[in-house]
Amino acid sequence: MKKMMRWLGAILVMISGLSAVVPAQATNTDTSNNIGFSVAAQTPKNQIDKQATFFDLKMTAGQTQTLQTRIYNTTNRDIRVAMGIHTAYTNSGGAIEYVTPAKKYDASLQYRVDQLTKIKGPTTVTVPANGSKLVSAQTTMPTKDFNGALLGGWYFKRVDQKVTGEVKGATNISSEYSYVVGIKYSLGTAPTPVLKLSDVAAGMVNYHRSIVVTLRNTAAVMIPRVTMKTTVTAKDSGKTVVKATKQGVMLAPNTTFNYPLLLNKQKLQAGTYHLHLVAHNSAHKWTFDRDFKISAATAKTYNQDTVDDNGISIWWLIGLGALGMLIVVLLILWLVLFLKKRRQSQD
């Protein structure tokens, strides 16, 4: 039963990864989309990149400014949109995350965008049918001198439910669509990037055993398009345990990047290991070497809790997820037809 729950957990993760979330930095005022709404930042005079469609603002210490975004409704009925301000960080996939708030922020992060910038008025608004609504947020910069960039996003999510009819006892089905307008505040002079190796340890990522490398960008500057070449070897034999190359990593300012090296079918073994990692982009290069240990208890725990030994490949997970979604759709269609026939018989 416990093994089955782990499989189901992995399947649910895969299904959620296929969800229709639109991470849009509002590109224009064109409202011709199939999700019913769009957003567009109203960039102010202190916009650094005039062509950018997100907020890329040059700010000074203590400055207060109002930001505005227009929400467009392309449907023939009113819709409700919820908003939030988030602080950006780098997720385990190596991308900058604007949608889901971090559970914990890097210790080097002095100021968070979500604490400096607040939405003015209600955080959920009604946008009229075939119309638009201008919403505002107010930001206040730190009063102390600060050099670098603060990165975040203004998040918009449609939360109204589309109801085709009132059926007693029936469950209404709704879809969620979201946009993010990026926010970047630049103050003073940009510092030099600082990348540090914080930790290397055995770990578990979505029920897959891994060796997790924890890297930290402790400077208030983004490190873009980083390529990482990593090798883990057994200390005693020199045998390569895992070798990986990851390209296009985007490190947000003052962020922690937990980089998982998936072991797949390979079991964790107790012992001492060596990590060699080279990270570079067009402007900078860092080389890290670190010995680390995996205890027998840790190896046993992760080897038992993984789904890697159950013969379920990622394509099986995708297939099972798609099958589950198909079943839901068929049930909805059956319910609609059943109710239609029932109404016809009553008439």
Tokens 């890297």 sit at which residue? Answer: 215
Would you say the C-alpha torsion 296, 297, 298, 302 has a positive or negative sign?
positive
* pLDDT score recorded for residue 45: 96
pLDDT at position 172 is 37
Q: Does residue 206 lie in a domain region?
A: yes
Same domain flag for 46 and 141: yes
- As a whole number of angstroms, the distance between CA 174 and CA 1 comes to 32
Type of residue numbered 280: H
Domain hosting 39: range is 22-162+175-187
Using the 3D structure, point to which of 284, 305, 326 is the last residue of a domain. 305
- 142 in the same domain as 103: yes
CATH, residue 263: 2.60.40.10
Q: Six-digit token pair at 187?
A: 């103050």
The answer to whether 192 touches 70, Cβ cutoff 8 Å, is no
Same domain assignment for residues 85 and 116: yes
| DSSP code for 345 | H
**Residues contacting 48, CB < 8 A, separation 6+:** 56, 57, 58, 186
CA distance 60 to 144: 10
Looking at the structure, do residues 69 and 211 belong to the same domain, yes or no?
Answer: no
Residue 332 is predicted with a pLDDT of: 81
Gap between the Cα atoms of 217 and 186, Å rounded: 17
Same-domain check for residues 249 and 123 = no
Residue 311, in any domain of the structure:
no
Q: Find the angle CA(224)-CA(41)-CA(76) to the nearest 5 degrees.
A: 125
| Same domain flag for 182 and 50 | yes
Mark whether 36 and 181 lie in a shared domain.
Answer: yes
Q: Quick check: is 215 in a domain?
A: yes
C-beta separation of 78 from 147 below 8 A: no
Same domain, 31 and 180: yes
Residue 333 lies in a domain: no
Q: What is d(CA 203, CA 213) in angstroms, rounded to the nearest whole number?
A: 9
C-alpha–C-alpha distance, residues 120 and 108, integer Å: 29
DSSP-derived letter for residue 342 is: H
Let me know whether 183 and 199 are in one domain: no
Which residues, at least 6 apart from 84, have a Cβ–Cβ distance to it below 8 Å?
Answer: 114, 119, 123, 154, 155, 157
Q: Are 73 and 117 within one domain?
A: yes
Do 209 and 181 sit in the same domain of this protein? no
Residue 127 bridge partners (DSSP)? 79
> DSSP 3-state assignment of 126?
strand
Take residue 255 and report the two structure tokens written for it: 């962020």
Specify the number of domains making up the chain. 2
Three-state secondary structure call for residue 294: strand
Q: Are 60 and 217 in contact (CB under 8 A)?
A: no
Domain assignment of residue 332, yes or no: no
Res 27: pLDDT: 30
Q: How many CA atoms lie within 13 A of 107 on its CB side?
A: 3
Distance of alpha carbon 130 from alpha carbon 78, whole angstroms: 8
Per residue of the chain (347 residues), give pLDDT as tens: 444 444 334 333 333 333 223 334 433 333 344 578 999 999 999 999 999 999 999 999 999 999 999 999 999 999 999 999 999 999 999 999 999 999 999 999 999 999 999 999 999 999 999 999 999 999 999 999 999 999 999 999 999 855 333 333 333 344 567 899 999 999 999 999 999 999 999 988 888 889 999 999 999 999 999 999 999 999 999 999 999 999 999 999 999 999 999 998 888 999 999 999 999 999 999 999 999 999 999 999 988 877 766 655 454 556 667 788 788 878 887 777 777 676 666 66
Q: Is residue 134 part of a domain?
A: yes
- Measured CA to CA, the distance from residue 221 to residue 148 in angstroms comes to 6
SS3 116: helix
Whether 317 is in a domain gets the answer: no
Please enumerate in sequence order all residues whose Cβ is within 8 A of that of 162, keeping only pairs 6 or more positions apart, or say none.
172, 173, 174, 175
The answer to whether position 4 is within a domain reads no
Same domain, 71 and 144: yes
